[in-house]
């Protein structure tokens, strides 16, 4: 196994690497209009999602957020996004899906500073925090969103337990991510064993 794989297999080291990488990335991109850090997504046939002119340059990234978040109706709901990155998804969903309140959480302090400066919307706030130790009381949110971020977490089952803890009864976990082939079995087992009930899944190749 390559040295980098050994390092990433050790949870505290993995967390430390990501904790350094994302502030570095935010700093390097500080003069760029980079609002999304997720990969692109397209339906087959194409979704033809109507977007505002300012959102159009980020269409491919927005389509993944839209696909994940619209699996349930978020109107009037209290929503938490864990690992919100540069806040582009949070801004888009708050503006278009009308949640009562949307909280974006991220471990990257520079990213949170960027989000607060770039997305000053009502009904939305951004907080620095740890996905594996959510700062919120039990049963706080109607929906928790996580888009292509959990592969960075050292303890994925612990994250799922935290999601279940902060969700209200009848709440939903809206989730998209990827794994390398050798990590698929453990990932799927964690999802099956989580204190959450799987309602729907889709493989995107």
Residue 199 within a domain: no
Residue 65 within a domain: yes
Residue 201 within a domain: no
Percent of the chain with pLDDT over 70: 84
* Beta-sheet pairing, 101-106 with 124-128: parallel
Residue 203 within a domain: no
Dist. CA 85–CA 55, nearest whole Å: 17
Residue 198 within a domain: no
When the pLDDT of each residue in the chain is averaged and rounded to a whole number, the result is: 87
Q: What is the CATH number of the domain that holds 140?
A: 3.40.50.150
How many Cα atoms sit within 13 Å of 161 on the Cβ side? 8
Using 50, 70 and 90 to split pLDDT, how confident is the model at 1? very low
pLDDT value at 161 more than 90: yes
Q: Which DSSP state fits 10?
A: S
pLDDT of residue 48: 86
pLDDT value at 31 more than 70: no
Cα-flanking dihedrals φ and ψ of residue 174, to 5°? -105, 120
Range of the domain at 90: 3-193
Please name the helix (run of DSSP H) or strand (run of DSSP E) that holds residue 124, with its range, or none. Answer: strand 124-128
Helix-then-strand count for the chain, H and E: 7, 5
Residue 200 within a domain: no
pLDDT of residue 137: 99
Residue 78 within a domain: yes
78 strand-pairing partners: 101
pLDDT value at 86 more than 80: yes
Residue 62 within a domain: yes
Work out how many domains the chain is built from and give that number. Answer: 1
């Amino acid at each position: 196994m390559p040295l980098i794989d050994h390092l990433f297999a050790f949870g505290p080291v993995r967390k430390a690497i990501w904790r350094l990488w994302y502030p570095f990335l935010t700093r390097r991109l500080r003069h760029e209009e980079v609002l999304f850090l997720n990969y692109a997504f397209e339906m087959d046939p194409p979704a033809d999602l109507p977007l505002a002119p300012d959102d159009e340059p980020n269409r491919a990234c927005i389509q993944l957020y839209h696909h994940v978040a619209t699996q349930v109706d978020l109107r009037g709901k209290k929503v938490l996004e864990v690992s919100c990155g540069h806040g582009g998804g949070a801004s888009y969903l708050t503006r278009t899906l009308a949640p009562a309140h949307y909280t974006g959480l991220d471990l990257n302090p520079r990213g949170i500073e960027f989000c607060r400066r770039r997305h000053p919307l009502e009904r939305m706030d951004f907080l620095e925090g740890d996905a594996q130790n959510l700062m919120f009381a039990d049963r706080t949110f109607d929906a928790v969103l996580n888009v292509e971020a959990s592969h960075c977490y050292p303890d994925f089952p612990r994250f799922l337990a935290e999601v279940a803890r902060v969700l209200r009864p009848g709440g939903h976990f809206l989730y998209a991510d990827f794994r390398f082939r050798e990590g698929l079995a453990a990932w799927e087992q964690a999802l099956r064993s989580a204190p959450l009930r799987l309602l729907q899944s889709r493989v995107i190749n």
